[in-house]
Structure 1
């Protein structure tokens, strides 16, 4: 017969469904890794890996945390990639603002500064455009569609503002800002892969910094010759 006076060992309190503990589920300590650190780690991966290869498990391994931490902050892989795209576009906007401040305030210099920053963006993050096209735009996540709309509308509006300024001072002719936006993205995105193609064709290594500077000047001249008002 059981002894009714025998002390009953208290049960451990149930753990709430919150942020995973350091070392949870066999994980190494997360060392305070938070949402921003996970976004930055994914951006770091995006410099060398196509977005199709970037999964929560890969990001967790790269960061040294358990995948449950990524699920806690982002719920889904799509949400993580949207956050990454937003962070990269914020950096691009900051670079454009900095370039515009360094340039003269003419429509020509503002246009060249924007295109140059776009080329730098694609050179720094060679898989960024692929992220936008193959992951964000193709996602069913409403947040992804919102991000695409915001990014695209902001870019078209910026080119439209520059073109209107050029029309006002008589330096530019009329042009569709949406098509200029598309053309600038296309010329900027192809830069990284084109360098490798030229290296193979010419049989010599090409200095990336030198080629980027020359390419930015070339594209700027090409676009300006297209938008400048003809006499």
Structure 2
């Protein structure tokens, strides 16, 4: 026969058992309320409208302010206001993103387009002036190409860099072929490409060294126009005649 004491003790054990059972169910309720695992694909964004173009635009803004090596996936994502995962969703690597920036810069640059009926010298002049203007206004381009993309790990990025430069050289070849008399040995378009870029890039990069050497009263804009005239004359005169010896212009050798 159970006493009141035994009954009370049994009730206490049952009560404690119920308490344990309730405690064991709490983690299950917490697990139910946890965030569901995200499926593969485009990461969610608060903005909803941020896409590939916005990320490229953010990268361009960063590259306008600093050197290419400072434009990381994380810094570009911050500038675009998105998670780095979204950047990686659109671009397999940082190299691919920087190559997309290069292509976007070229696609939006307003190149000079002389009339098809313009003489070859006018077309050559337009190309040289374009390169000079580009070097002065888009300071990141050559560093992007040379330091970041030309030796990229991605074969696809290296291929796109090569195609880009090969297209420019082909344009030079066409212009030089039209300008050159058949009696003179053709000028190598690759060397013209390298020389013109070199002359333009150094002038743009070395402003802090060049400007103190300029006569007082000559501004940067005026100096740039005079320099473009100089390069145009230098290249066209070099194409039209041979130099023998280097300081004296003479007739083409037979």
TM-score range (shorter-chain normalised) is 0.7 to 0.9
- What TM-score, normalized by structure 2, do the two folds share? 0.74
Q: Which has the higher contact order (CA 8 A, sep 6+)?
A: 1
Match of 1:217 in 2: 229
- What TM-score, normalized by structure 1, do the two folds share? 0.81
Q: Structure 2: how far apart are the matches of 1:21 and 1:54?
A: 23
4+ long deviations beyond 4 Å? 8-14, 170-173, 200-206
Match of 1:183 in 2: 195
Q: Gaps spanning 5+ residues in structure 2: where? A: 1-17, 23-27, 243-250
Aligned partner (choices 220, 226, 230) of residue 208 of structure 1: 220
CA pair 202-108 structure 1, distance change in 2 beyond 3 A: closer
CA contact (8 A) 1:41 1:62 kept: yes
Match of 2:40 in 1: 17
Cα root mean square deviation, aligned: 2.8
Deviation of 1:15 (Å): 2.8
Deviation of 1:200 (Å): 4.3
CA contact (8 A) 2:42 2:89 kept: yes
CA pair 79-85 structure 1, distance change in 2 beyond 3 A: same
CA contact (8 A) 1:173 1:229 kept: no
Match of 2:56 in 1: 39
Match of 2:75 in 1: 58
Instruction: Provide the aligned length of Structure 1 versus Structure 2.
Output: 217
Deviation of 1:119 (Å): 1.3
Deviation of 1:221 (Å): 1.1
